[in-house]
C-alpha cells in the first residue's frame, strides 16, 4: 500500500509521524473517507469541500486547493491499483506537531497531511432478496454538540459503535435527550413510512453525510419517491416500515432488526430496493 504523507508518496509501513502530533495527543484534526469503485470516485468534490470547510471551522490552515486535493487523491488511488478494483481513501489533516503539549492552537506549525488507500467491499446487490440486512440497537447519543464537524476525535463514536458491536449488531442508532433520532455511530439514518423517506434535519447533531446528500438529491431528481428532512422521533422509528443507514462504506444499508424487534415486517423493504437502484445509477455523477 502506497501512502501520502506531507508531500511524499511512500510505502504505508514506512510512514512516520511525531508523537507530539496534535492528531495523536488531542484528536485535533479533520478526516474524510472517499469510496472509489472501478477507479471512479463517489462524491469526491463534496468530500473535499466538506474537509476544507471542517479545516476552516477548526482554524487549521489548508494550503491545498480543491483541484489539487482531487489530483492528489486520484493519483493515490492510481498508485494503489494493485490493491483491487474498489478502494477507499482515508485522508487526515491534523494541526501538526508542536514542541509542547498545550491546548491552545499553536502558531507557525505545519499541519500533518496523511492519506492511504485500502480495499473495500463490492456494492450490495440491489435485489432485496439477495442483499444483506443489518441489525441495530439504539441508545442515547452521548457525543458532543459539534457532530457536524468530521473530527478525528472519534472516541464518542467509537464507544457507541462498540455498544452495538458487542451486542452482535452492525451499527448503533442514536437519539437525543428529547427522544429524537440523530444518526448512527458512523452513518446517517432514515425511516420509511407509507412509501415516504424521512431523515433528520442537517444540524449540529449529525454529520452532513455525502451519501445522505447523494441519496436525497438523486431521489428528488428521479421523482418517484418522496423525501422529507425533519425531526424524527424514536416512536416513529419503532413504527416505521423500513429503517436504513448510509455512509460512504455502507452505501445504503437496510436495517431489519432494532433492539431485538423486527423493523416493519422484518424483511428488507421495497422502498430500499427502489431507492438503492436510483442511488446506484446516479452515484458517479456526484
The set of catalytic residues is 150
Q: What are phi and psi of 117, to 5 degrees?
A: -115, 145
In terms of C-beta density within 10 A (0-12 exposed, 13-18 middle, 19 or more buried), how is residue 14 classed? exposed
x/- map, 150-189, ligand PLP, by CB under 6 A: -------x-------------------------x--xxx-
- CB of residue 248 to ligand PLP, shortest distance in Å: 3
Q: How far is the CB of 10 from ligand PLP (least distance, A)?
A: 26
Site pattern 87..126 for ligand PLP (x: CB under 6 A)? ----------------------------------------
Supply angle C-alpha 4, 10, 16, rounded to 5.
Answer: 80
The distance from CA 162 to its chain's CA centroid, rounded to whole angstroms, is 17
Report which of 35, 36, 34 is spatially closest to residue 47, judged by C-alpha positions: 34
> What secondary structure does DSSP assign to 158-172, as a single string?
HHHHHHHHHTT-SEE
Q: For residues 203-232, which are near ligand PLP according to CB under 6 A?
A: 207, 209-212
- In which element (H, E) is residue 66 found? helix 66-79
Shortest distance, position 157 Cβ to ligand PLP, whole Å: 6
How far, in Å, CA of 277 to CA of 132, rounded? 15
Identify which of residues 111 and 209 has a Cβ nearer to ligand PLP in the complex: 209
Residues near 146 by Cβ (< 8 Å), separated by ≥ 6? 204
256 binds ligand PLP (CB under 6 A): no
Nearer to ligand PLP, 96 or 246 (CB): 246
Q: In which residue are the cell numbers 421495497 written?
A: 270
**Min separation Cβ 250 and ligand PLP, Å:** 8
Residue nearer to ligand PLP on the CB measure, 197 or 210: 210
Shortest Cβ 49–ligand PLP spacing (Å): 11
Identify which of residues 198 and 207 has a Cβ nearer to ligand PLP in the complex.
Answer: 207
Asked if 80 and 1 touch (Cβ cutoff 8 Å), the reply is yes
How many whole angstroms from its chain centre is CA 71?
21
Nearer to ligand PLP, 33 or 72 (CB): 33
The DSSP code sequence of 198-255 is EE--SSTTS---HHHHHHHHHHHHH-SS-EEES--BHHHHHT-SEEEEEETTTEEEEE
Name which of 20 and 58 has its Cβ closer to ligand PLP: 58
- In the shown chain, the binding pattern of residues 3 to 42 toward ligand PLP, with x for contact by CB under 6 A and - for none, equals ------------------------------x---------
Binding site for ligand PLP (CB under 6 A): 33, 157, 183, 186-188, 207, 209-212, 246-248
Amino acid at each position: 500500500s502506497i501512502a501520502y504523507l506531507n508531500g511524499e508518496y511512500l510505502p504505508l509501513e514506512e510512514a512516520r509521524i511525531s508523537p507530539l502530533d496534535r492528531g495523536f495527543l488531542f484528536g485535533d484534526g479533520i478526516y474524510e473517507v472517499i469510496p472509489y469503485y472501478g477507479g471512479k470516485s463517489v462524491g469526491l468534490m463534496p468530500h473535499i469541500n466538506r474537509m476544507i470547510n471542517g479545516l476552516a471551522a477548526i482554524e487549521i490552515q489548508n494550503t491545498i486547493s480543491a483541484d489539487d486535493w482531487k489530483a492528489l487523491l486520484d493519483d493515490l488511488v492510481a498508485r494503489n491499483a494493485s490493491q483491487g478494483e474498489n478502494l477507499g481513501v482515508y485522508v487526515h489533516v491534523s494541526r501538526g506537531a508542536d514542541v509542547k503539549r498545550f491546548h491552545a492552537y499553536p502558531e507557525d506549525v505545519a499541519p500533518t497531511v496523511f492519506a492511504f488507500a485500502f480495499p473495500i467491499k463490492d456494492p450490495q446487490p440491489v435485489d432485496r432478496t439477495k442483499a444483506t440486512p443489518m441489525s441495530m440497537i439504539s441508545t442515547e447519543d452521548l457525543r458532543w454538540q459539534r457532530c457536524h464537524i468530521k473530527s478525528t476525535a472519534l472516541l464518542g463514536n467509537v464507544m457507541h459503535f462498540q455498544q452495538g458491536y458487542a451486542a452482535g449488531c452492525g451499527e448503533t442508532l442514536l437519539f437525543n435527550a428529547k427522544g429524537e433520532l440523530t444518526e448512527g455511530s458512523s452513518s446517517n439514518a432514515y425511516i420509511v413510512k407509507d412509501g415516504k423517506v424521512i431523515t433528520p434535519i442537517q444540524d449540529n447533531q449529525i454529520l452532513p453525510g455525502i451519501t445522505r446528500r447523494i441519496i436525497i438529491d438523486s431521489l428528488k431528481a428521479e421523482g418517484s419517491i418522496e423525501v422529507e428532512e425533519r425531526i424524527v422521533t424514536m416512536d416513529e422509528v419503532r413504527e416505521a416500515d423500513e429503517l436504513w443507514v448510509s455512509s460512504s462504506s455502507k452505501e445504503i444499508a437496510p436495517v431489519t432488526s432494532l433492539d431485538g424487534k423486527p423493523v416493519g415486517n422484518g424483511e428488507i423493504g421495497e422502498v430500499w430496493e427502489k431507492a438503492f437502484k436510483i442511488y446506484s445509477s446516479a452515484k458517479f455523477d456526484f
